[in-house]
Chain A
């Protein structure tokens, strides 16, 4: 299934907005039969590192820790959002390695 971020806005600048969107996604996935979700960034103008970290980074950590009951993929990210995601993954990987 597709999770269209543009339904929630086009500017995401805070960590708390990442938390809100994550909650909405998890709620949807609880009810969905499909066990794979595409998180679509098409139409997103701005997404800060903290937003991306709270949404995609958190899903990544849960996946690595085997506590995520579905698979996910982020699609249609612009270059800046892609770089934000790489930084989030880098930080989370180093935490996971240290743990």
Chain B
């Protein structure tokens, strides 16, 4: 695998570390020496996926297809997981000849109130209808508890999506998926295979030095921007500030970009986790925001 190829390692780590019921192993075999340039992604043992894993897998598929490879995906043996991938439109929009992925045909119940299927967006104008969809999903879970938390989630989609489209500069656009769960959680996942936050900020010559995780941490501060306009730099900061004000049971924000990761956890308005650390390189920026209401 080349150095810049997207890695799925952290999806595996995320799934196994935070989801105790996840027993799957994500095995990725890539053979570029063969003439056919074939990539095999083995999801057969995976038994749980969330919106974040979904957008990572889609980013992985698109990236390898864009490199002229044929991607073969071994579908999960777990029926629920395979149905979930089909229901969330994991391969929609990928050229049929570029991918082999045997997914079940699912009868799609109307679940617009609890999930936003994987969306690949390429323009800012697409964020507005998506925001309206997300409003429905989040309201289902949060209404009657705290109206402010709905606004917080909406703001996050706008800020993070706008950032990714404007600054990520990926020709493949951005990926978004969301879901609310019956236990009171809402997950929003946004990602892109673009330049990445650390590289974007370094290019702006702001004098931010250090490893990617430190640059990533710096990006969360008010007024830190790679746009060259010092009045900007509200995006990440506003998401965090709104999360603190929303008075939810907990809010977790995780960002993976370049060779860095950042994790923030806010419980009842108080920041209880603030970590940044080095990680294997990933292409682009991948963000997972989770609200817990109970």
Contacts and interface: CB of A to CB of B under 8 A. Distances in A.
Question: Do A and B come together as binding partners?
Answer: yes
Interface of A: 9, 11-17, 45-46, 48-51, 53, 57, 61, 78-80, 83-84, 87-88, 90-92, 94-95, 98
Interface of B: 124, 127-128, 131-132, 135, 147-148, 151-152, 154-155, 157-159, 161-162, 166, 222-223, 230-235, 237-238, 241-242, 245
A45 B242 CA distance: 16
Given A53-B232, A98-B230, 16 more contacts: A11-B131, A13-B158, A14-B128, A17-B128, A46-B155, A46-B158, A49-B159, A50-B234, A50-B235, A53-B231, A79-B151, A83-B245, A87-B222, A87-B234, A88-B234, A95-B223
Contact of A95 (B154, B162, B230, B235): B230
A94 B166 CA distance: 24
A13 B223 contact: no
Given A80-B148, A87-B241, A91-B223, A49 B128 contact: no
Given A11-B131, A14-B124, A50 B162 contact: yes
Given A83-B245, A90-B222, A95-B223, A45 B162 contact: no
Contacts of A87: 222, 234, 237-238, 241
Contact of B155 (A45, A79, A84): A84
B162 A14 contact: yes
Nearest to A87: B238
A84 B238 contact: yes
Contacts of B241: 87
Nearest to A90: B222
Query: By CB atoms of chain A within 10 A, which of B147, B148, B155, B235 has the most?
Result: B155
B228 to A, nearest CB: 13
A11 B132 contact: yes
